[in-house]
């Protein structure tokens, strides 16, 4: 799996961060969490995950983030989508991986957590960077 030193090939000078996110499905639903108040993009729904630390592999970062956020172990499977999104001060390279849970998740940071059907995803507020994945999931193409 790629590591954190791999960056987008953009010609801009903005800082770039690498983020990994878990697409976790069970019983025809997908696990999503809501970004906490006071954080970038607060109040929007997202697929759980976070920043990849320097020298960290994507699968290591996902396992760490899901343990910290949801007190759950996961198995990381195939890459579903990679995309780059440019915010005014920052570029985010986002990698979505299919993952499976080893135990029941529970929100550890006070964040809201929901299981939603794929076709309900487009009606919820998500960051723009997630739009392509949501479209794929809603059409049943990422599975």
User: Which phi and psi angles does 21 have, rounded to 5°?
Assistant: -140, 145
Name the β-bridge partners of 10.
Answer: none
pLDDT in tens, 63-104: 999 999 999 999 999 999 999 999 888 899 999 999 999 999
pLDDT in tens, 5-21: 444 444 456 799 999 99
| Separation of alpha carbons 97 and 78, rounded Å | 6
Q: How many CA atoms lie within 13 A of 101 on its CB side?
A: 17
Q: Name all domains of the chain by residue range, CATH numbers in brackets.
A: 16-138 (3.90.79.10)
């Amino acid at each position: 799996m790629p590591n954190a030193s791999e960056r987008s090939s953009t010609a801009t000078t903005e800082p770039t961060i690498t983020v990994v996110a878990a697409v976790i499905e069970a019983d025809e639903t997908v696990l999503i969490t809501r970004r906490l108040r006071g954080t970038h993009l607060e109040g929007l729904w997202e697929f759980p995950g976070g920043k990849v630390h320097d020298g960290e592999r994507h699968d290591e970062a996902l396992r760490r983030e899901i343990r910290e956020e949801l007190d759950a172990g996961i198995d990381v499977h195939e890459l579903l989508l990679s995309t780059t999104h440019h915010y005014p001060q920052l570029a985010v390279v986002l990698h979505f991986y299919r993952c499976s849970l080893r135990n029941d998740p529970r929100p550890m940071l006070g964040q809201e957590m929901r299981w939603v059907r794929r076709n309900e995803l487009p009606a919820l507020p998500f960051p723009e960077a997630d739009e392509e994945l949501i479209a794929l999931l809603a059409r049943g193409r990422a599975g």
